[in-house]
Amino acid sequence: SGSPQCTAKAGGTGVYELGVIPPSSGVMHGSLTFTAPNGHYVWFTLEVHASPPPAEEALVLEVAVRRAVTVQITLANPLDIAATFQVSMEGHGLLGAPEVTAVAREVATYELVYSPMHPGPEAGSVSFKSAALGEFWYRLDMHGAPAETTDVPEMSAEVGTRASTLLEVHNPLGEETVLNLSSTNPRNFSFAPAQLLLPAFGTGTFQVEYVPSSLDEVEVGVITASSAGAGTWTFDVRGVGTAPTVMEVTELFVT
């Protein structure tokens, strides 16, 4: 904004004060034209770099991986007309509508969902931009807590035999993902297959097999299923070997 006129003495210069009040952050372009009474004019191109305003406040979001927590953000509209806010999010695991509308002189509520795939802290933000009301944003202090380990019921098998169980994994992503399996105690606990393909938002199962190597002692291990996108699942497994009874009949043929 500025005065509609600017005066410059003959052979001299004039000073024009231009005020800039950007409605939101970002880079904006425009032009400024000065026209003399004789029709001559001079013009300038303008490029404005506007930085974001200070954050309204910091919101703390914490939840275990592959679970979700929701925070509600209120948006007040003091105008006599409805105001629509464009929503921008920065950070992994954030979900929400791309825009929200507050009717005239009312308050709207925006629901922001945080559902991390990997544990650990992360900084993020959510911003709201309106052509009529400008821009404001919130800093997000996010933390994905490690998922709880699944405790698999104890298996039992006679020494020299084996026992098995099926474990289930659900894919939280909207795309296929491949899980790589590993065991901390491959001597006693193995798995099949070595990799598990999960369909989008689908479920897969894999088999864990226990082969005892001792008698009446609890043997333990951890089975891990992980992928870069969906994160890591851990299963605590344990088994006990018992004394052999009657073994299965094995037929031998000699020719």
Taking only the tens place, the pLDDT of each residue in 14-61 is: 888 888 777 677 788 888 888 888 888 888 898 888 877 889 999 999
Taking only the tens place, the pLDDT of each residue in 126-165 is: 999 998 888 999 999 999 999 999 999 999 999 989 999 9
For range 114-128, the mean pLDDT: 94
Is residue 88 very low, low, confident or very high in pLDDT (cuts 50, 70, 90)?
Answer: very high
For range 109-132, the mean pLDDT: 94
For range 226-242, the mean pLDDT: 94
Question: SS in 3 state form for the chain?
Answer: CCCCCCCCCCCCCCCCCCCCCCCCCEEEEEEEEEECCCCCEEEEEEEEEECCCCCCCEEEEEEECCCCEEEEEEEECCCCCCEEEEEEEECCCEECCCEEEECCCCEEEEEEEECCCCCEEEEEEEEEEECCCEEEEEEEEEEEECCCCEECCCEEEECCCCEEEEEEEECCCCCCEEEEEEECCCCCEEEECCEEEECCCCEEEEEEEECCCCCCCEEEEEEEEEECCCEEEEEEEEEEEECCCCCCCCCCCCC
- Average pLDDT of every residue of the chain: 91
